[in-house]
Amino acid sequence: MDFSFSEEQIAFRDMVRRWVDAEVPKSLSRELEAKEKEYPFVLWDKFREAGFFGIGIDEEYGGQGGDVLTQMIFAREVARSVGGLLWVWGLTSFAGAKSIGVYGSEEQKRRFLPEIAAGDCRVSIGFTEPGGGTDVLGAMRTTATRTEGGWLVSGEKMWSSASHVADYILLLARTDRNVEKRHHGLTLFFVPAKSEGITNTTLSKLGMRSIGSSTVHFDNVFVPDDLVLGEPGRAWYMLLPTLNNERIMVAAQCLGAIDGVLEDALDYMKQRKAFGQPIGRFQALQHYVADIATWRMQVELMLHYTAWLQSTGQECGTQANMLKMIASEYAVKAADLGIQILGGMGYSAETDMQRYWRDHRILRITPISNEMVRNSIAESLGLPRSF
């Protein structure tokens, strides 16, 4: 089994790496991330000028093409520097380009994908509800009721990242209450984020602060029929095939963070001196970087394998869950060891270790908690459902 990149993929990786070092170095990422609730438009503009919003969008809709492997390469290389600010690109790539590309009608694709590819359309996600977390279905209270020419949406979503600057919100709402199972009767809407009846309250949080996450309230918000994605009532069935792609992208981000942690740790250990010698000679610290390098290899191998399964059309739900779990846990552990290696400077906002830890701690919880991931893995092995 050969997971080697093609010459074209290697060239793309090297190009993105050079671009990251020149255009979005870690110093810029620290500066942008420190501005809580101040959206990093400068980073959006850099992605747009480079044409990166076209990754994964077919050329016939104005994109650059590229499969999940291309997206994986890009996410890893960018996250090495920007960490969680990758979602300036990732939210629109997943919620906009991926969703419309998979669920959208031909008319919707021609209407929205060229705008997304050009970087002229920002998209947020409205799935999570107050009190819901991972239990999206059980907590679903947002409803959409039929009206002339469309739907009226009422309810509240939480942790909708970048919704305060978005053009559209990919919204999941209940359109049928009389269902046998709770995953029935759900519909996806592409809601204009500045519609009458929408109020947005930005939340304070630990990491990825400048992107901003919000509570979004919908009060009889009108959404026309042409902004329904796919078949009404069957949203959950449409979403399932895209979840593996999301987990792969999360893992690629985590792998990029581990790259950044290891890079910074090695540089510091070669330069910093204590007790008359470089701290890189200390056995305990050498063990730390050996652990980080080993975790990186584990994530890299499983990421390539799972992305290969996805790109070749094979079932990879369990593998994607396993990948997301180990990638997020290793990224946080690596950043924590990185802080330990740098000592006081690791705790300082002048370095990136604390940023890597803060940005990636959330990925042990979202888009699905690692506890729920473990439940799913156990169930796939024949054990009874545990929740």
Chain segment 18-56, per-residue pLDDT in tens: 999 999 999 999 999 888 879 999 999 999 999 999 999
**Could you name the CATH architecture of 124-231?**
Beta Barrel (2.40)
Instruction: Residue 11: count other Cβ atoms within 10 Å of its Cβ.
Output: 11
What pLDDT does 230 receive? 94
Instruction: Find where tokens 């699905």 sit.
Output: 368
Helix 283-311 and helix 235-271: axis angle, to 10°?
A: 150
**Spatial separation of the C-alpha atoms in residues 74 and 253, rounded to whole Å:** 9
At the top level of CATH, the class of 236-380 is mainly alpha
Residue 386 has pLDDT above 80, yes or no: yes
Instruction: Residue 10: count other Cβ atoms within 10 Å of its Cβ.
Output: 12
**Could you name the CATH architecture of 7-121?**
Orthogonal Bundle (1.10)
**Spatial separation of the C-alpha atoms in residues 340 and 353, rounded to whole Å:** 9
pLDDT tens digit sequence for 198-218 = 999 999 999 999 999 999 999
- Among residues 108, 90, 107, 185, the alpha carbon closest in space to that of 146 is found at 185
| Residue 4 pLDDT grade (very low, low, confident, very high; cuts 50, 70, 90) | confident
pTM: 0.95
Q: Where are the domains of the chain?
A: 7-121, 124-231, 236-380
Instruction: Residue 80: count other Cβ atoms within 10 Å of its Cβ.
Output: 27
Are the beta carbons of 258 and 334 closer than 8 angstroms?
yes
pLDDT tens digit sequence for 215-250 = 999 999 999 999 999 999 999 988 887 889 999 999
- For residues 75-96, give the mean pLDDT: 94
